[in-house]
Amino acid sequence: MEISHILTALGLTLIAGLSTGVGSLIALTAKKTNTNFLSFSLGLSAGVMIYVSFVELYPQSAKIFETEYGKMGELINLIMLITGMLFIGIIDRLIPENQNPHEFNTKDAKLYRAGILSAMAIAIHNFPEGIATFMTALYQPELGIPIAVAVAIHNIPEGIAVYTPLFFSTGNKKKAFWYSLFSGLAEPVGGLIALALIMPFAQAHEILLAYTLSFVAGIMIFISLDELLPAAKAYGKHHSAIYGLLLGVLIMGLSLFLL
């Protein structure tokens, strides 16, 4: 694996993580969030991630599993997909609903605590996303940029969710911004962990790459269905989210067709 490919994958993962800072900047400068555009963007991110998972990652891992295990490979591939979903689902379940970083609630009397817990929750949540973004960008270079963009869009409202309660509870814009920004740095940390612990073995054993791809696909599908689309609907812009999803699928389908 060339060092340039590794640095590119890490760079994309870093950009995706730092987008929480973009979210806090939006909250800092905007008097009112454009919920229609935000809803559309979240839907677009979901469309990109769902399409990539089902059309690229899952089929590729299926081929490797089938070559290695024959018919049983289909079952193993499905188990790894579900395992990825359960993994990120457990992380979500560990976050109390009233402290969910995807909920915008600035009326809570304990805003400061909510902001701190949201920052911690997002950091924990972004860690496996960093692994998924890094591994996808590394082994599927043509998918690296669209996946990083999709994750970045997904992270923007999370940055808003951290900034808002911290700012309203402290009145300190800088403190709220830095907490929001640093919560996203768990993303590149996840990429570095993948680089150190997963990539060396995946290079030596293609079957490990198959396990990783289906696991990552499960993570991205869960994020899309459990977080992105419900969050978009929460803004009251259901159709905008669906239009964004359809455009995300179309963009990815055409881009992969033209490559």
Contact 181, 162 (CB under 8 A): no
Three-state secondary structure readout of 134-166: HHHHHHCHHHHHHHHHHHHHHHHHHHHHHHHHH
Alpha-carbon span 102 to 122, nearest angstrom: 9
Report d(CA 152, CA 140) in Å as an integer: 18
Rounded average pLDDT over 61-79:
92
Tell me which of 19 and 201 has the higher pLDDT.
19
25-69 pLDDT, tens digit each: 877 776 665 667 777 877 887 888 888 889 888 998 999 899 989
Whether the Cβ atoms of residue 252 and residue 47 lie closer than 8 Å to each other: yes
pLDDT at 155 over 90: no
Which amino acid is residue 68, in one-letter code? Answer: E
Mean confidence (pLDDT) of the chain: 80
pTM of the model: 0.68
**pLDDT at position 108:** 44
Determine the 3-state secondary structure of 212 from DSSP.
helix
For 132-136, what is the mean pLDDT?
86
Q: What is the pLDDT of residues 194-229, one digit of tens each?
A: 888 877 776 667 788 788 889 888 988 888 888 778
Output the pLDDT for position 152. Answer: 86
Residue with the bigger pLDDT between 98 and 28: it is: 28
Does 141 have pLDDT greater than 80? yes
Percent of the chain with pLDDT over 70: 84
Q: What is the pLDDT of residues 164-198, one digit of tens each?
A: 777 777 788 888 889 888 888 989 998 999 888 87
Alpha helices in 57-140 (DSSP H): 58-69, 72-93, 111-139
Asked whether residue 246 carries a pLDDT value surpassing 70, the answer given is yes
Question: What percent of the chain is predicted at pLDDT more than 90?
Answer: 15
How far apart CA 166 and CA 125 sit, in angstroms, is 19
Q: Look at residue 113 and tell me whether its pLDDT is greater than 90.
A: no
* Residue 12 confidence (pLDDT) above 90: yes
Give yes or no for a contact between 43 and 240, defined as CB atoms under 8 angstroms apart. yes
Question: What is the structure's pLDDT at 106?
Answer: 43
The pLDDT of residue 239 is 83
| Contact of 50 with 251, CB cutoff 8 Å | no
Q: Which amino acid is at 104?
A: F
